[in-house]
Structure 1
Amino acid sequence: MIEENCRNCKEVISGNFCPNCGQRRFKRINRGYVIEEIQDIFVDVNKGFFYSLLKILRNPGKTAREYMDGNRVDHYKPIALAFVLGGISIFVSTSVLNLDEIMKSFSEQQHINSKLMSDIFTIISSYYAILMILLLPIFAFITRIPFKKQGHNYYEHIVMNSYVVSYYTLMSILVMYPILFLFRQNPEKMMLVSQGSFLILPLILVWFFKGFYNHIPLKKIIIKILGVLALTLLAYILAIIVSTVAFVLYGMFVDKGVLEYAKPK
């Protein structure tokens, strides 16, 4: 086996693991790596959970770059981290804030008469953290398009976006949820804070990718992020059109009851 230097401590590695710090020999992130990490969520707990949280809070883009370049021994695996933080977010939003019940009440106050629309509104507001994780494959596809020339593959972009989602979820837990708790008796203000938090995402994306690709000028990063936002909007519109057509066809030819579910009362 060819010798190489450890990406974490620079010790010479002749086997699969560094004899000094124990880190595995560097392996580029690919499809097999992502599948292995998802499996590890359920069978392994990495020791670097709080270390990774602190690193992400300081600079998520730089942290992701370190991990991508092979310095992984002290880090909690990013996809697993996104799932753990997503679980914490759902627990706080539903068990502490009772956000799902509050959003249902808000829907009634706003006269959202369709049960389908009310349920969609409640799910998005209360379980957005898990929805973002489930959409990671789409986010990765979108961010790879403007940054394709940088040479990172699709699965590496899944890991990048895991860090973005983790950072956003972590800031929601630390900042947004305490504010929502203060306004828990006022659904209108809670909704305003919740919706306003999504407006911060473009800034987070600029900060993240500037930290990750620190050799790219800020102006070019902003232009690329605008491209990401445009592609995201396009994907959203296409998803709405496709899902609406599929829903109507299902209601017309399979189960007419679903049309009643969507019909205003």
Structure 2
Amino acid sequence: MICKNCNAELNSNFCPNCGQPASLKRIDGHYIVHEIEHILHFERGILFTVKELIFNPGQNIRNYLSENRSRLVRPIIFIIITSLIYSLSISFFHIEDQYVKFEGGELRTPSKIFKWIQGHYGYANIIMGIFITLWLKLFFRKYNYNLFEILIVLCFVMGISMLIYSSFALLQGLTKAKLMAIGGMVGLGYCSWAIGHFFGKDKVLNYIKAFFAYILGMLTFVILAILSGFLFDLMTRH
């Protein structure tokens, strides 16, 4: 037999070259349940990743970068899923979004940009993570991590912050108490702690630098979004 994925010769149940099964099972109810269990599995899936990132983010992310990339959920998938959970949470409970908020209805394009951000947090968080990454690279330039590795750190950290915001959205929806502002502070506190923990948990200065890098990255993202929309409006008026 010939592998349908890489055309290598097959003499077993799996391709020796790419690992593709010799024959794929039909997709049925058992397959769907298995896929869901695989995503949520406590030893390798979302729940395991969340647990590891809450209790020991620095060590687990360093392990992901340099030793084992099979224990945690892939970072891009992680931040997109957790951002979706946040969007669904505030939508379900009809909570006013306070994560990225813009008051400026008279500025047409900036308003549209922020409306897009609020509807696509997974992608927007990745974009914002790029700006935070630049500040982190500047503040932690003595460490031997490139921009892409720091961006992976942020995908994990910001993913957990999305779950923190989701938890407070759930509490606010159930209790009717105004808790989202507290959730924002807790989320920011976690991000600063987790990033500082990654670069070295024994140095207080790392947590301070992580906090300011995160704030400056968010401000850079917001300011550039407003300026881009404002300049677009200015150019299209003439």
TM-score range, shorter chain: 0.5 to 0.7
Pairs aligned (count): 195
Aligned-partner residue type, residue 159 of structure 1: I
Q: CA RMSD in A?
A: 3.6
Matches within 5 A, 1:147-162: 147-162=140-155
Match of 1:171 in 2: 164
Bigger shift: residues 124-133 or 156-165: 124-133
Cα offset for 1:201? Answer: 4.2
Aligned-partner residue type, residue 98 of structure 1: H
C-alpha spacing 1:115/1:195, structure 2 compared with 1 (3 Å): farther
Structure-2 separation of matches of 1:155 and 1:120: 25
Pair 1:222 & 2:215 matched: no
Structure-2 separation of matches of 1:131 and 1:156: 18
Q: Deviations over 1:56-89 (max 9, x none)?
A: 2223233212212212222211221111222222
SS class of match (1:149): coil
Structure-2 separation of matches of 1:130 and 1:198: 19
Indicate if the aligned counterparts of 2:133 and 2:150 stay in contact, CA closer than 8 A: yes
Match of 1:80 in 2: 77
Indicate if the aligned counterparts of 1:124 and 1:131 stay in contact, CA closer than 8 A: yes
Of residues 50, 54, 57 in structure 1, which corresponds to 2:54? 57
SS class of match (2:139): coil
Match of 1:135 in 2: 128
Q: Deviations over 1:119-144 (max 9, x none)?
A: 66766666545532343333322322
Match of 2:174 in 1: 182
Indicate if the aligned counterparts of 1:142 and 1:228 stay in contact, CA closer than 8 A: yes
Structure 1 segments unaligned to the other structure (5+ residues): 1-15, 17-43, 254-265
Aligned-partner residue type, residue 171 of structure 2: I
Aligned-partner residue type, residue 92 of structure 1: S
Match of 2:189 in 1: 203
Pair 1:248 & 2:234 matched: yes
Structure-1 separation of matches of 2:58 and 2:105: 43
Aligned-partner residue type, residue 132 of structure 2: F
Q: Deviations over 1:191-233 (max 9, x none)?
A: xx33443333442233112321226511343145324433543
Cα offset for 1:146? Answer: 1.0
Of residues 56, 68, 88 in structure 2, which corresponds to 1:91? 88
Structure-2 separation of matches of 1:52 and 1:97: 26
Indicate if the aligned counterparts of 2:78 and 2:159 stay in contact, CA closer than 8 A: yes
Indicate if the aligned counterparts of 1:125 and 1:194 stay in contact, CA closer than 8 A: no
Structure-2 separation of matches of 1:234 and 1:112: 18
Pair 1:233 & 2:219 matched: yes
